[in-house]
A = this chain, B = another copy of it.
């Protein structure tokens, strides 16, 4: 395979195509990361993450701020939950959501 020279020189230094391939994370890690990024690929979910970065909130408050239908909000909360970015604990009739450690990491990167 012919390769442009400036690329070829550096490529040799990292062990060629084989060397590059070895630098990549395994399939599971890539799947996990892409799931996390997917969870943040929507403005509604991004808002939720940023809100929970301020403080834990019940669904009722989140709904007021984000202004979407109940079922839609629930759907997006679930996407974030499945990506392990947020978690909810029942408190009487309410559910209070907060960021997981992973969620904190992303929120911090997003703000900073």
Contacts and interface: CB of A to CB of B under 8 A. Distances in A.
Interface string A53-65: 0111110110011
A96 interface: yes
Contacts of A3: 58, 60-61, 94
A69 interface: no
Copies, count = 2
A33 B42 CA distance: 9
Interface residues of A, number: 47
Contacts of A45: 34
A41 B45 CA distance: 14
A65 B7 contact: no
A70 interface: no
